[in-house]
Amino acid sequence: MIDSAHAPPSFDPPPFEPPPFLRNPHAQTVAGCFLQDTSRYPLRPKRRGVPLPDGDMVVIHDDQPDDWNPGDRVVLLIHGLGGSHRSAYLIRIAAKLHQHGYRTFRMDFRGCGAAVGLAAKPFHCGLSDDVAAAIRKIHHCCLNSPISLIGFSMGGMTILKLLGEDRDDLAAEVDSAFSISPPIDIVRCGLSIREHPNYFYDRYFTKMLLDFAKQHRPFCQLAKRVIRQSPRRVWDFDELYTARKWGYESAEDFYQATSAIQHLHRIEVPTQIVTSRDDPLVPFDMFERAELSPSIGLHVTERGGHLGFIGKRGVDPDRWWLDWRVVEWVSQLPRRFPETRPVEILTSTSLA
């Protein structure tokens, strides 16, 4: 029997039911990506740079509500491939958590959002060290606050990899995680995205990655050569650029080394995964093969596509079914650590 301290929080959401016009997984995926009106979610974050040991930098965006007090829970939200702190799903969920009194931090990976031009190396989904650096920064800003991690797609896979690694630099304040549509086996995803009809996504993401490479041209002659070759598949782009830039022999070697599936059995932080059986980008069979730690809860919807989950009216205050599940999940967690927990003393050394 699993220790209650490591058991995932209770998660029993209402069934996800899409509207009749969004029952197709591709319709859910595309609508979830392109419905981007966030004007009714005003946030005024403070931008905080997070220097990395190799000289690159990521950025976190700090949204602190007026009723948040030191020691209250904070939430780190991490975007997916092609996203940033400006991604609609991050803005919507951060705003809803803000309304419930939670301080949120939205992270920009290397070269994304506000971090454009601040990194010589490209981002990839295995950069768990970068997330750990962001967590340490948040820990120093919010001493003794419990920290929840929420990751979407690529970001969701990165936090699973982080939590399952054998490392001693993860802040003890990280007490919970929520991962949405994580591509836990990147080799499987890399092969699936090339199949009909998913090649549409393959072309879309490849173009996006080439655009990122163009931003790295001042840093890298390799980027210039890859742009001239103009690969048409994500696998080919990673073979030519990402894998070589990070010292891997091939894209397959890179995918195998950075996939979270090999780490899931070691996760001890209470973690919830939500995915859909019809996700066109994350084949469900990888979860059937995965060895999940007892600390992980897996909730599977029959429909929802990839980061779609646009539901019918009447279940939630708006159609964004996933947003409300995240808010409910965070709201059931303790807002503060018990008073009996040892309090860390903040010193100038700990801020170095």
Which structure tokens are listed for 29?
């995926």
Contacts of 34 (CB under 8 A, 6+ apart): none
Query: Which helix (H) or strand (E) segment is 289 a member of?
Result: helix 285-289
How far apart CA 287 and CA 47 sit, in angstroms, is 36
SS3 202: helix
The runs of H, that is alpha helices, within the chain are 25-34, 88-99, 128-141, 154-164, 186-192, 199-215, 221-229, 234-237, 243-245, 251-258, 285-289, 321-331
| Known active-site residue 279 | yes
Task: Indicate if 263 belongs to the active site.
Answer: no
Of residues 153, 176, 179, 295, which has the active-site annotation? 153
Within 143-229, strands assigned E span 147-152, 174-180
Question: Rounded distance, CA 92 to CA 36, Å?
Answer: 10
Please state, as a whole number, how many other Cβ atoms lie within 10 Å of the Cβ of residue 147: 21
Q: Out of 279, 293, 295, 323, pick the active-site residue.
A: 279
Backbone φ, ψ for residue 217 (5° rounding): -55, -35
Among 124, 139, 216, 306, which one carries the catalytic annotation?
306
d(CA 255, CA 263): 14
Active site residue 306: yes
DSSP letter, residue 253: H
| Residues 46, 62 contacting (CB under 8 angstroms) | yes
User: Please, are residues 32 and 309 in contact by the beta-carbon 8 Å criterion?
Assistant: yes
Q: How many CB atoms lie within 10 A of CB 348?
A: 6
Residue 168's alpha-carbon distances to 48, 130, 172, in angstroms, are 24, 15, 9
Tokens of 30: 């595309």
| Sign of the dihedral through C-alpha 127, 213, 219, 138 | negative
> Helices 199-215 and 221-229: crossing angle, nearest 10°?
140
Residues known to be catalytic:
153, 279, 306
